[in-house]
Chains A and B, each alone.
Chain A
Amino acid sequence: MNNNIHPLILLLLFPGGLFLLNAGLVYEWIDRKLVARFQNRIGPRWFQPLADTIKLLAKEEIIPAGVHKGLFITLPVVALTGALTAALYTPLFGFAPAFGFEGDLVVTLYLLSMMTLCMGLAGANTISRFSLIGATRALTQMFSYEAPFLLALLGPAMAAGTWEIGKINIFASENLWLILAQPIGFVVAVVGLMGKLELPPFDAPEAETEIVAGALTEYSGRGFALFRLGKNVELVVGLTLVTAFYLGGFSNPIMFLLKTAALFLVVAGLQSLFARLKIDQTVGLWWRVGALMALFQLLAIILGRYLGLLIQ
């Protein structure tokens, strides 16, 4: 449905570029506000994320001694780029993805992982002790949630028999909501998304009471703003993907937003329910519970498909 729009507009305004950045800011506000209300606080005003970003962008960026300058400046840009590019293949607000090809699901997931990789590199690049520990934890955490999260999103792909996000969505909107068909996969996907975004209780990589701001401790000004923006965009893309896959695929934007909002409520509730997990607890949880659950779901899907074929 987007085929008649000029590609530059697609990239700069909708769904890429400006629109996506603003959506990220709005999503960040919703997240902060919801968690604040759950915690019996007032929470920020609606323009607070925007104000933070403008302020950070206007600040001087301090490049600490002992870092590789090029990497220090490039990494936030690459992280943001990865998240923005991933958005091009996702059905934002229920619209068909701007671009799509067979196998774009895998590309999108890898693009989403760029963020964590960049943060890990950014932490390892500096000589700050907090950053180094933060980087180690970020990468350790990535190795634990990534596989189950990937498996959880492969579930719908296998059910639909295609690796293209657009086609999976068509399948999801034509059939029973996949949350009912693959409930375990849904749980793993939501919790995996929280791990990916380092939201509490999976915020050990940036545990402020231990290691200040983790990998991003040395970042100030522009670099920090870009990382934050990247993370917000990733929040939008991640929530959209899970909603699209598990809550009924394409639909009109209002319905889609309502579904996303419901998912958001769950995510924010989970954020305020638990104490922070230690990094070894996170890894243990994912490999002992998460991975097994995802594998079990996968097995169920494969068996289901074979049984379906047998019946036919």
Chain B
Amino acid sequence: MKSSTGEKFIVPIGPQHPALKEPGHFEFTVDGEIVTGASIRLGFVHRGIEKACESRNYTQNLYMLERVCGICSHVHATAFVIGVEKLAGIQAPPRAEAIRLLTSELERIHSHLLWLGVAAHEGGFDTLFMYTWRDREVVMDLLESLSGSRVHYSVNLIGGVKFDVDEKLADSIRKGMDFLEERTHYYMKIVTTDDTFVGRTRGVGRMTKEHAERLGAVGPTARASGVERDIRYNAPYSGYDQYPITLITDHAGDLEARFVVRIKELYDCYRLIRDVLEKMPAGDLTVRAKRKIPEGEVVSRVEAPRGELFYYIKSNGTENPDRVKVRTPSLCNWATVSDLAVGHKLADMPMLLVGIDPCFSCNDRLVQVNQTKTNSRLWSWDDLRRYGIEYYR
């Protein structure tokens, strides 16, 4: 399909579009219904969190870094806290590590269920969307009774955790897991057998193992293509060596495989949580940590629900970090979307986009300054405003 001027026909999605409730801009060049090109533009919600970290102390940063993401807030704090503990030369007590693990697995359940619903919605299957989000409330309630909050749990402290799990809570978590496991079996059945749904997912966005490795995919997206990449498995942290996970991969590499991998991961989460509750070690929740962290730099990696989360922390011996660098999993997976989009139908695009479980506010770390004029000058507010209007025209 070409417009009258002979230009390419481009369908824009975002930053305001019903398909994506988060701000990202995608341009799909289409020929009829077939996509012939895709481009991605991010950076609508850059918040300058990395820079802000440098002017706050380590404890304050813990709360701030949780705000990087509204879905996987706990893993961000965990990645940061593990790095800082390594710099400080302290080790969180075993019980604290178990509770960190418990929270991050509960968070994974909530994140995967949320994704399942959103992905179903993108495929026009609103019934599954409503059902998964209803069941997700169970795990949200559990997280709330653990930490007192539904989104930003603030479980971590430098040197331990804040909240303990007593027998009563453990029982309600077990009950919740039983319920969710039953529901998850049902969703697995729908995702793999419902004809209309399989028609939207099977064979769509197929990515080989080599392709996934070349594009640097992480998390369930990579595992659905058979790449054995899971930090919890490759480099266990925070108790994952005590409570080993089952690495789940699939070799199909299409959208259906991404559904299957995530749902199978849910089963593993339930098993792991029961395991942790069973073998929860007794003992303290925290060890003392100094406010000033010794000079040094550290890399800390954890497995977020979307894949590998990477933190680089540099300390200069004061109360504030010198540099914090965050690289979120969504950023690694974008290349797979723009690469796989070509040749698919326009109707596949929303599901393909959502297939990597993108988290937009996580992405926007980087700001690129194009310096066309070499001399620096002062800009008044009006100048800036005019520039902004011109820029986006």
A residues apposed to B, CB below 8 Å: 38-41, 129-130, 132-133, 136, 200-201, 203-204, 207-212, 272-281
Contacts and interface: CB of A to CB of B under 8 A. Distances in A.
B386 to A, nearest CB: 24
A273 B121 CA distance: 13
Interface string B321-354: 0000000000000000000000001111110000
Contacts, number: 83
B197 interface: yes
A278 B349 CA distance: 11
Contacts of A41: 130
A40 B30 CA distance: 37
Nearest to B194: A275
Contact of B124 (A39, A40, A275, A280): A275
Given A276-B125, A280-B33, A210 B194 contact: no
Contacts of B350: 209-210
A39 B1 CA distance: 37
Interface stretch (B6-14, B86-94, B299-307, B366-374): B6-14
7 contacts: A38-B127, A136-B1, A275-B120, A275-B128, A276-B347, A278-B200, A280-B345
B126 A272 contact: yes
A66 B99 CA distance: 61
Nearest to A38: B127
A212 B13 CA distance: 9
Contact of A208 (B19, B346, B348): B19
Q: Is chain A's binding surface mostly helix, strand, loop or mixed?
A: helix
Interface in B15-34: 17-19, 30, 32-33
Interface of B: 1, 9-12, 17-19, 30, 32-33, 120-128, 130-131, 134, 194, 196-197, 199-200, 345-350
B134 A40 contact: yes
Nearest to B353: A209
A132 B124 contact: no
A276 B122 CA distance: 9
Nearest to B197: A275
A186 to B, nearest CB: 21
Given A40-B131, A210-B347, A278-B348, A129 B10 contact: yes
Contact of B126 (A39, A130, A204): A39
Nearest to B16: A212
A201 B345 CA distance: 17
B337 to A, nearest CB: 15
Contact of B1 (A132, A204, A272): A132
Contacts of B347: 204, 207, 210, 276, 278-279
Contacts of B121: 209
A70 B17 CA distance: 29
Query: Which of B33, B120, B121 has the most CB atoms of chain A within a 10 A radius of its CB?
Result: B33
B38 to A, nearest CB: 14
